[in-house]
């Protein structure tokens, strides 16, 4: 999509005056992701506008909101797959889509096809060199040090996510939580500075949600990777979050969880009375959150089975 | 073509006995049999490699249709008085372009329209094939050959054509193999990583058309599954390792002795597949 990259890059250059550019770059270099008064349109409809969001390096930030509000679009805008119509976005100091190698991306999906006869370790290796042309020379691990190092790295990340036990099985046959661990390993293989995860906890059972959330937090803290995580339920990740951003059609609010997840802030954002309750074990319950109409067909198409 | 081959076989006055070594020696003394084995081996290798990706991508229907399309291609070429080989390739590659040109939904993952188009192409192709055969005026006695394969009567020139097409197809496949694998297994991440998914898919369909054209010259338009689908599907059931799977495919298709190291209890499916490779040849050469 070179045209879209150009447009996104163009909007960055146009919106930021040359005098402000240096100052802005400096600010941007201190943030992993920075959206400034950004607006996105899909099919002629404004998905969201006036979104301002900042993710500092090494920070664990969640983007929250009801289904269909454009959270995945925000992720795609950060990846440069959806161009902004106004405002700016800077990802790892560059225009969106220009920092591909340094971003680990986990798309929204439900699962792999159960009949897919490909091992988890192969899916993880694709994260290292999947876009390179050609075929890996069989037995190259014995001949080339770089191949040996790559293989070692794959082994390392599989161990990091605790997937050693099932990485050799066909990926369609392991559980949803185990698939998610393998996919996180795939995203981490190239030592990214930014990890973008789109609903990684969706369709997982509660223990798996807790395990995967703890894993993401550990990766964020121990390896200094900035994490931008999209979720519709804050509870599994609440205790790990540095900041949250709530997104709505009118814009977004971001801050620490205690600042943002309050009745007053959310009511003002959505323009409807919303109540935030805290249960005895510290979990938050957001009541009265408006569910956007289910018009996000791409949400389901994205996670569908393999190409026919 | 079949009849001339059989006539040559009958003319040399050979009869099959129970001495298998002697039988094989007698078979290999016949030039058309040697060519049949050459063409069969070339086609088996191409079909194995490309079929492996076809099965992984769940594009067997497309592969089958591209093979069926070769029937009007060949009959049309005979009607026009040009080489049937050219007809096979032209029709299959044209159909691959049609299927590749199906517009996708913006998400890129809606394949229902693709299978509808494939079905339409297949029906249209069969109708055209029947039309060409009837226009030819009833003298096309190789109709069975077009549908069920002409393993015998393959000329040296055809073997060379097959070899060149096979080498080209395998070289292109080797070039796109890893991004193709990535785009098949994990299309969303592949797109985000900059894999030109549409281009890779289109090139693969062209390769599939090429392979289907090659295979249908040997097995006929209707039996392409024997070489394109079954060995690859069997190999993928035997192992989930891509590299080892590729080792199994040629073993499955070329009916060579299987090293005992690779023999496992679950190998019965591979043996069943291997007998497929032998059966069409055997039935067409000796039962008539």
Say whether pLDDT at B171 is over 90.
Answer: yes
A126 contact residues in B (CB cutoff 8 A): 178, 181-182, 185-186, 189-190
> Contact B185/A118, CB-based, under 8 Å?
yes
Q: Write the secondary structure of B7-61 as one string of H (helix), E (strand) and C (coil).
A: HHHHHCCCCCCCCHHHHHHHHHHCHHHHHHHHHHHHHHHHHHHHHHHHHHCCCHH
Whole-number CA gyration radius for chain B: 20
Q: Which domains does chain B have, with CATH numbers?
A: 39-225 (1.10.3470.10)
Please give the pLDDT value at position B14.
54
| Cα separation values, B137 from A153, A189, B22, B79, B133, Å | 67, 64, 43, 9, 7
Mean pLDDT of B226-244: 83
pLDDT of residue B261: 31
| CA of B89 vs chain A CAs: smallest distance (Å) | 23
- At residue B265, the pLDDT reads 32
- Helices B2-11 and B31-56: angle between axes, nearest 10 degrees: 140
| Most confident stretch, B11-25, B106-120, B162-176 | B162-176
Cβ B198 vs Cβ B105: under 8 Å: no
Q: What pLDDT shows up at residue A296?
A: 45
Closest chain B residue to A125, measured at CA = B182
Give pLDDT, residue B100.
86
Most distant CA atoms of chain A, gap in Å: 65
Q: Compute the nearest-CA separation of A115 from chain B (Å).
A: 9
pLDDT of residue A304: 42
CA distance A149 to A307: 32
Local mean pLDDT, 10-residue blocks, chain A (308 residues): 45 46 56 88 85 89 85 88 88 84 82 83 88 75 78 90 90 88 90 91 85 91 91 86 84 85 83 82 74 47 43
Q: Mutual orientation of helices A145-160 and A176-188 as an angle, nearest 10°? A: 140
Rounded Cα–Cα distance for residues B2 and A252 (Å)? 74
Length of chain A: 308
Rounded CA separation A121/A88 (Å): 38
Tell me what pLDDT residue A246 has: 87
**CA A65 vs CA A196, A235, B182: distances in Å:** 16, 13, 31
pLDDT value at residue B111 = 54
| Tens of pLDDT, residues B58-111 | 888 889 899 899 889 988 998 898 888 899 999 999 999 988 887 664 444 445
Contact of B174 with chain A, judged by CB distance below 8 Å, is answered with: yes
d(CA A121, nearest CA chain B) in Å:
9
pLDDT over 90 (residue B172):
yes
Angle at B253 between CA B252 and CA B256, to 5 degrees: 75
Euclidean distance between CA atoms A254 and B86, whole angstroms: 64
Is B178 in contact with A133 (Cβ distance < 8 A)? Answer: yes
Measured between CA atoms, the residue of chain A closest to residue B239 is A117
**Which comes out higher in pLDDT, residue B259 or B42?**
B42
**Rounded Cα gap, residues A113 and A306, in angstroms:** 7
pLDDT of A195 reads: 92
Residue B249 is inside which H or E element, if any?
helix B242-253
- By the 10 Å C-beta count (0-12 exposed, 13-18 middle, 19+ buried), B160 is classed as exposed
Tell me the C-alpha distance between B58 and B261, whole Å: 30
ipTM score of the complex?
Answer: 0.74
Residue B11 has pLDDT above 50, yes or no: no
Domains of chain A: 2-110+194-302 (3.40.50.300)
Which residues of chain A does B175 touch, with a Cβ-Cβ cutoff of 8 Å?
133-134
Across the interface, whether the CB atoms of B107 and A138 are under 8 A apart is answered no
Q: Phi-psi bin for B145: left (phi > 0), alpha (psi -120 to 50), beta?
A: alpha
Better-scored residue on pLDDT, B257 or B182: B182
Q: Is the dihedral of CA A203, A209, A212, A216 positive or negative?
A: positive
Question: Are B242 and A118 an interchain contact pair (Cβ–Cβ within 8 Å)?
Answer: yes
pLDDT at B151: 75
Q: Is the pLDDT of residue B268 over 90?
A: no
- Per-residue pLDDT band for B276 (boundaries 50, 70, 90) equals very low
At B109, is the secondary structure helix, strand, or coil? Answer: coil
Alpha-carbon gap, residue A304 to A110, rounded angstroms = 7
**The tokens 């929250």 sit on which residue?**
A64
What pLDDT sits at residue A61? 93
Laid out side by side, the sheet with A33-42 consists of A45-55, A33-42, A84-91
pLDDT, tens only, B117-153: 888 889 999 999 989 888 887 665 667 777 877 777 7
Nearest C-alpha in A relative to B190: A131
pTM of the model: 0.76
Measure the CA–CA gap between A43 and B228, rounded to whole angstroms. 41
Please give the pLDDT value at position B163.
Answer: 94
- Closest by CA to B180, choosing from B62, B55, B53, B66, is B53
Helix B156-185 × helix B84-100 angle, to 10°? 10
In this structure, what are the phi and psi dihedrals at residue A40, rounded to the nearest 5 degrees? -125, 145
Q: A6 vs chain B: nearest CA distance in angstroms? A: 15
Mean confidence (pLDDT) of chain B:
76
Q: Which residues contact residue A24 at a Cβ distance below 8 angstroms, ignoring those fewer than 6 apart?
A: A16, A88, A90
Q: Alpha carbon B219 to chain centroid distance?
A: 7
């Amino acid at each position: 999509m070179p045209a879209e990259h150009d447009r996104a890059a163009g909007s960055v250059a146009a919106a930021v005056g040359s005098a402000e550019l240096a100052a802005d770059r400096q600010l941007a270099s201190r943030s992993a992701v920075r959206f400034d008064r950004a607006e996105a349109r899909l099919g002629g409809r404004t998905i969201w506008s006036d979104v301002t969001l900042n993710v500092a390096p090494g920070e664990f930030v969640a983007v929250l909101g009801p289904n269909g509000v454009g959270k995945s679009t925000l992720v795609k805008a950060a990846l440069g797959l959806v161009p902004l119509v106004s405002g700016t976005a800077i990802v790892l100091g560059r225009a969106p889509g220009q920092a591909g190698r340094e971003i680990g991306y986990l798309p929204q999906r439900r699962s792999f096809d159960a009949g897919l006869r490909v091992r988890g370790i192969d899916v993880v290796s694709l994260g290292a060199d999947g876009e390179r042309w050609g075929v890996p020379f069989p037995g190259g691990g014995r001949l080339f040090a770089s191949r040996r190092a790559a293989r070692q790295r794959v082994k390392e990340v599989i161990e990091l996510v605790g997937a050693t036990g099932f990485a050799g099985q066909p990926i369609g046959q392991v559980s949803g939580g185990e698939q998610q661990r393998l996919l996180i390993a795939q995203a981490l293989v190239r030592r990214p500075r930014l990890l973008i995860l789109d609903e990684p906890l969706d369709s997982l059972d509660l223990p798996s949600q807790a395990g995967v959330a703890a894993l993401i937090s550990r990766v964020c803290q121990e390896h200094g990777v900035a994490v931008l995580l999209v979720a519709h339920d804050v509870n599994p990740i609440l205790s790990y979050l540095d900041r949250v951003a709530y997104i709505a059609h009118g814009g977004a609010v971001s801050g620490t969880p205690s600042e943002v997840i309050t009745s007053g802030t959310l009511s003002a954002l959505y323009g409807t009375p919303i109540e935030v309750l805290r249960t005895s074990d510290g979990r938050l319950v957001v009541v009265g959150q408006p569910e956007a109409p289910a018009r996000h067909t791409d949400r389901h198409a994205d996670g569908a089975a393999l190409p026919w | 073509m079949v009849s001339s081959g059989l006539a040559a076989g009958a003319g040399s006055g050979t009869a099959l006995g129970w001495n298998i070594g002697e039988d094989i020696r007698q078979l290999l003394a016949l030039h058309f049999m040697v060519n049949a084995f050459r063409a069969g081996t070339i086609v088996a290798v191409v079909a194995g490699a490309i079929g492996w990706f076809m099965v992984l991508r769940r594009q067997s229907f497309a592969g089958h249709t591209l093979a069926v399309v070769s029937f009007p291609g060949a009959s049309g070429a005979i009607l026009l008085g040009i080489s049937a080989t050219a007809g096979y390739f032209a029709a299959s590659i044209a159909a691959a372009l049609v299927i590749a040109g199906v517009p996708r939904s913006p998400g890129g993952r809606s394949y229902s329209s693709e299978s509808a188009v494939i079905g339409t192409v297949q029906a249209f192709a069969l109708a055209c094939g029947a039309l060409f055969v009837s226009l030819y005026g009833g003298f096309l006695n190789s109709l069975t050959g077009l549908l069920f394969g002409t393993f015998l009567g393959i000329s040296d020139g055809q073997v060379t054509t097959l070899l060149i097409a096979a080498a080209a197809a395998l070289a292109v496949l080797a070039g796109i193999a890893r991004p193709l694998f990535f785009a098949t297994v994990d299309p969303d991440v592949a797109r985000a990583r900059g894999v030109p998914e549409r281009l890779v898919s289109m090139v693969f369909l062209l390769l599939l058309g090429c392979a289907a054209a090659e295979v249908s010259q040997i097995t006929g338009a209707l039996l392409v599954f024997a070489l394109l689908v079954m060995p690859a599907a069997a190999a993928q059931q035997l192992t989930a390792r891509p590299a080892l799977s590729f080792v199994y495919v040629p073993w499955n298709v070329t009916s060579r002795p299987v090293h005992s190291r690779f023999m496992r209890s679950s190998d019965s499916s591979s043996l069943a597949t291997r007998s497929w490779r032998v059966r069409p040849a055997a039935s067409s050469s000796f039962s008539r």
